Structure 1
Amino acid sequence: MPRAMNVVPNRGSRLLLALLPFLLIALIYVVGSAQRRADNPDDKLLPPVSEMVATSKRLATEPDRRSGDYVLWADTAASLQRLAFGLGIAAAVGLTLGLAIGLLPVAGAGFGTLVAVLSMIPPMAVLPVLFIVFGLGELSKVVLIVIGVTPTLVRDLSLEVQNMPREQLIKAQTLGASTWQVAIRVVLPQIMPRLIQGLRLMIGPAFLFLISAEAIASDVGLGYRIFLVRRYLSMDVILPYVVWITLLAYVFDYALVWFGRRAFPWAYARASH
C-alpha cells in the first residue's frame, strides 16, 4: 500500500480537490444564512446569496443617483489605479536597490542595515504621518503601498544577488565585462523571476495597505465603500466587495505567473525539476 505522501492526484482529482473546500464553505454559508433568516427575517449578518447577487448587479449596472457613476466599476478603477502605481514604483525601486546592495559591497555596507530596519517598521504606523506630509489625496495612498512593499523586495532581491554563483561574476569580469555590464547582462536577467515571485507574495499586503488608506481618507475606492456601508450593517455590499477584492488579487497573481512563464521559461522549467 503506497504511503500517503507518495499519492499524486491526477488532473481531474486536483480540480475536484481544489473546488471541494470552496463548495463546503458555500454550503456552510447557505445553511447558516437560511437558519438565521428563519430565526430572524430582518437578520443582516448573513444575507442570502440571492440578495448579494441582486445588490452586486445594482452596483455594477445602475448609475448612482448622486454621482451618476457605476459604483462598483468606479471603486474598482480608483483602487486598481492606486495599486498599480504603488506596486510599479515599489518594483522599480526594489529592483534597483536590491541589485545595487547585493552586487556592490559599498552599497551593501551603506544601505543594507537601513533597509533591514525600514522593513521592520509597520507601514500602518506611519499612515498618519503620510497624511500629514502628503495630504489626504492620491499620493499618500500610493506612498503607503510603496513604503509597505519596497523594503521587503529590496531585501529579498539583494539576498538573491548575493546567493548567485560567484563563478558567473568572475567569468564575466574575466571576459572584460564592466560592473554595469555584469549588472545588466548577468545579474538582472537572473533576479527578474525572483522579482515576480516577490510581487506575487506582496499582492495581499499591498491590498491591505490600500484598503486601510482608502477607509480613512477617500471618497471612492473598494476600501472606502466597505467602511462607508459598515455603519448600516450592509453585509450584502461588504461580502461581495470582499469576494471581488479576493478575485482581483487572484487575477493579479495569475497574470504575474503567466508573464513569468513566458518571459523567463527557463526559471520555471528549473523549478519544476
Structure 2
Amino acid sequence: MRLINLKPGRPLAVFLALLPFALAFLAYAVASQIRLEANAADKLLPAPGTVWDTAVRLTTEGDRRTGRILFWHDTWASLQRLGLGIGISAGVGLIFGLLIGLLPLMRSFLAQFVAVLSMIPPLALLPILFIVFGLGELSKVVLIVIGTLPFLIRDLSQRVLDLPEELLVKAQTLGASSWVIAIRVALPQVMPRLIQSVRLSLGPAWLFLIAAEAIASDLGLGYRIFLVRRYLAMDVILTYVIWITILAFLIDWTLRWVSRRYFPWAGAGL
C-alpha cells in the first residue's frame, strides 16, 4: 500500500498530534537541565518547574502596588485591541471584497490600488501611525487593520471572482438585481472563505499587536514581555509566550468550529 493511502485511526492520530509537543518539551527540559548543571544561576532556559511556578504566581497574585492581577489585565487589553482590529478588517474586507469581485467598475478602480497597499510593510508605518493617531489605543488598532485588511480584500474578491459564471447568469435570468446577487448568491459563498481568511490573518495580527504594545503601551501582553526582558526574566517571558500561543490556538479553534457548524459544506481546512 502506498503511503499516501495510509490513514491513521483516531488513537494513532491523537498520538501523532501530541508527539511533536512532547518532543519539543523534552528537548527544552534536557537543554535546560544541561545549562543549569553548568551554571545554577543561568536565566536563559529556566527549568519547566520554574516556569510553572511563575505562571501560577502571575495568574493568582496581585501587583504589590495596585493589587491588580496584571496578567489578566494584560490579556484583556490585548484581546480587546486584537478583536477590534480583526473585526474592523473582516467587516470592511467583506464589503470591498464583494464590491471588487462583483462589480467590474470597482475592480478596475480599486484592485490595483489594494494590491499596491498589500506590498507596504505595515510595521514600517508604525512611526507614522504614532505621529498621526498618537500613542493610545487607536494607533494599535489601526496597525492591525492596515496589516490585515489588504490581504482580506484580495482573498475575498478572488473568491467572488471564482464563483461559477453560470450561477450569476441564472440569478440574473431570474430577475435578481445586483444587490440581491451580492446578498443571496455571493455572500453565502464568501462567508466560509472569510472565516478561513481571518484564521490566516491571526498570525500577522498578533505580530502587529505585540510590536505596537512593545513600543508604546502601559498594558498588554507585548508590553509586559518587553518590560521584563531588561531583567532577563525568561520565566515570565516564556509564560506570556505560551499564553499567547494558547490564546491564538483557542481563537483559531473557535473559528474552525464556527465554520464547521454553520458552513459544513465548505469544509474547515486544517
Alignment TM-score, normalising by the size of structure 2: 0.98
Match of residue 205 from structure 2: 206
Match of residue 103 from structure 1: 102
The structural deviation recorded for 1:69 is 1.3
The structural deviation recorded for 1:67 is 2.3
Give, in whole Å, the separation in 2 of the partners of 1:71 and 1:53.
Answer: 17
Give, in whole Å, the separation in 1 of the partners of 2:111 and 2:125.
Answer: 21
Give, in whole Å, the separation in 1 of the partners of 2:247 and 2:190.
Answer: 26
Q: Secondary structure of the equivalent of 1:9?
A: coil
Q: Secondary structure of the equivalent of 2:65?
A: coil
Match of residue 215 from structure 2: 216
Kindly indicate whether residue 124 of structure 2 is the aligned counterpart of residue 157 of structure 1.
no
Q: Secondary structure of the equivalent of 1:126?
A: helix
The structural deviation recorded for 1:5 is 2.1
Which runs of 4 or more aligned residues in structure 1 lie more than 6 Å from their structure 2 counterparts after TM superposition? Answer: none
Quick one: which amino acid aligns to residue 117 of structure 1? V
Which string of whole-angstrom CA distances, capped at 9 and with x for unpartnered residues, describes residues 171-197 of structure 1? 111111110000000000100000000
Q: Secondary structure of the equivalent of 2:62?
A: coil
Q: Give ranges in structure 2 of 5+ residues lacking alignment.
A: none
Quick one: which amino acid aligns to residue 210 of structure 2? I
Kindly indicate whether residue 22 of structure 2 is the aligned counterpart of residue 57 of structure 1.
no
Number of matched pairs: 270
Quick one: which amino acid aligns to residue 30 of structure 2? V
Kindly indicate whether residue 103 of structure 2 is the aligned counterpart of residue 120 of structure 1.
no
Match of residue 231 from structure 1: 230
Which string of whole-angstrom CA distances, capped at 9 and with x for unpartnered residues, describes residues 93-137 of structure 1? 000001000000000000000000000101000000000000000
Match of residue 71 from structure 2: 72
Give, in whole Å, the separation in 2 of the partners of 1:3 and 1:104.
Answer: 47
Match of residue 257 from structure 1: 256
Give, in whole Å, the separation in 1 of the partners of 2:64 and 2:163.
Answer: 58
The structural deviation recorded for 1:3 is 2.1
Give, in whole Å, the separation in 2 of the partners of 1:133 and 1:68.
Answer: 35
Match of residue 242 from structure 1: 241
Match of residue 5 from structure 1: 4
The structural deviation recorded for 1:54 is 1.1
Quick one: which amino acid aligns to residue 95 of structure 1? L
Match of residue 143 from structure 2: 144
